[in-house]
Amino acid sequence: MSSTLIRHARVLGGEERDIAIVDGRFAESVERPDETIDATGLVALPGLVDLHTHLREPGREDAETVLTGSQSAARGGYTAVHAMANTQPVADTAGVVEQVAHLGRAAGYAQVVPIGAVTTGQAGQQLAELGAMAASAARVRIFSDDGQCVADPMLMRRALEYVKTFDGVVAQHAQDPRLTEGAQMNEGLVSAELGLPGWPAVAEESIIARDVLLAEHVGSRLHVCHLSTAGSVEIVRWAKERGVRVTAEVTPHHLMLTDELVRSYDPVYKVNPPLRTQADVDAVRRGLADGTIDIVGTDHAPHTAEHKCSEWTAAAMGMVGLESALPIVMEAMADYGFGWADAARTMSARPAQISGLAEHGSLEPGTGANLVLVDPAAHEVIRPAEHATLGRNNPFAGIPVSTRIVDTFLFGTRVVADGELRGPHATARGGQWIE
């Protein structure tokens, strides 16, 4: 038996109380703890859960590995991350998703939950082995061709029908391919002035509108990845009012950054979907605050310098964000009545619920002791060069923030202590997650 007592933590930013951990689970109390931690002044949140992470392994270990991505997640306060399927080979079979889950257990810094591809090879031609991945040891419940849109409406309908049989969810990358051919940035005033091919908002909104109607018709679950426009917020709001089983996510960068930054031609700001206008940023902030947008997903997308540090039109799309997500969200939402309980809801409890992770998203006794302690009054500057991820393509470099991740506990193991990696969970030495 192992036990930890965390003293004087402000749970969800409220009253101070003690938190007891016994054998990897939250407990009512502990009399003689093996370790006592003074959390005076710190906020306790359930460990963060990311539904949208690119870990690159297998196939692109030069950009990221499951180990380095898991370490980055832990330093960002995440205890569970969902690995997107656009690896090499694509995670479209039971064998590949089981390999990803195994690599996560071997790393031992966060629970790595594989996302399966919707179509074979993400080619958009035929459904992948959805049932086999769901029945595998990885128990896949979320399927996405992220990076590619499931553009064929009949194929999307069939995917929604299939996952309904085991209460799965299709997470759509909403991007009409015909409307975005050659697109380099948001279509608008800035793209016109810079002479760069534009990426219209309607390319996202038209796919979301189609898919919520399909989800309503089929009665299945749809998740909208990285929503970025004001129109998309309104479509999701309308769909929810109709009772459609749709959830939506927004990224930290779409909550903070605008297409005005593209004037610098710095490829760190090149991302899919593109940075939008200030009006769009304001709309997605309001949508997150009022619950129209359910969660924050990082869309952590590391790239090598070879693929990112080049002229704008040749640079890869994507940004890293696991280690800066919580501080950036709290900064972006500071004027919207968005507190620590809201952060816990949108970055832990709700994503865990969407994915079906019963051991994450709660601080209640009896559940898995997945926990992050946060200093809410820090004076920090985001320094990507010091991050655990292999990716350095973080658009928030040099931004001052007032939130610092202090400690992260994964099933009771203190994997991060005072902001530094401490050591992996016992699963890395052949142990098991608490189930």
pLDDT digits (tens, 9 = 90+) for 388-403: 999 999 999 999 999 9
Residue with tokens 């200030």: 278
Residue 427, helix vs strand vs coil: helix
Distance CA 268, CA 251 (A): 15
Residue 386 burial class via C-beta count within 10 angstroms: exposed 0-12, middle 13-18, buried 19 and up: exposed
Distances (CA, A) of 294 to 149, 235, 269, 403: 21, 14, 25, 22
Q: Which residue numbers belong to the known binding site?
A: 52, 54-56, 86, 146, 173, 226, 272, 299, 303
Tokens of 73: 């997640």
Tokens of 153: 């409406």
Q: Helical H runs in 59-178?
A: 66-75, 94-107, 130-135, 153-164
Residues of the chain with pLDDT under 70: 1, 429, 431-435
Distance CA 317, CA 184 (A): 9
Contact yes or no for 152/365 (Cβ under 8 A):
no
- The pLDDT, as a whole number, for residue 434 is 65
H helix or E strand, kind and range, residue 289: helix 278-290
Q: Which residue numbers belong to the known binding site for Zn(2+)?
A: 52, 54, 146, 173, 226, 299
Q: At what angle do helices 201-218 and 230-241 cross, to 10 degrees?
A: 10
Q: Let me know the angle formed at the C-alpha of 124 by 120 and 125, rounded to the nearest 5 degrees.
A: 75
The string of pLDDT tens digits covering residues 68-84 is: 999 999 999 999 999 99
- The pLDDT, as a whole number, for residue 433 is 66
Catalytic residue numbers? 299
- Beta-carbon contacts of 223 under 8 Å, excluding residues fewer than 6 positions away, are 51, 142, 144, 169, 170, 171, 172, 246, 247, 248, 249, 354
Report all structural domains of the chain as residue ranges with CATH numbers, in order of start: 47-361 (3.20.20.140)
Residue 33, helix vs strand vs coil: coil
Q: Which residue numbers belong to the known binding site for substrate?
A: 54-56, 86, 272, 303
- The pLDDT, as a whole number, for residue 426 is 86
Nearest partner of 30 among 47, 7, 48, judged by Cα: 7
- The neighbour count for residue 204, using CB atoms within 10 Å, is 28
Residue 421 burial class via C-beta count within 10 angstroms: exposed 0-12, middle 13-18, buried 19 and up: middle
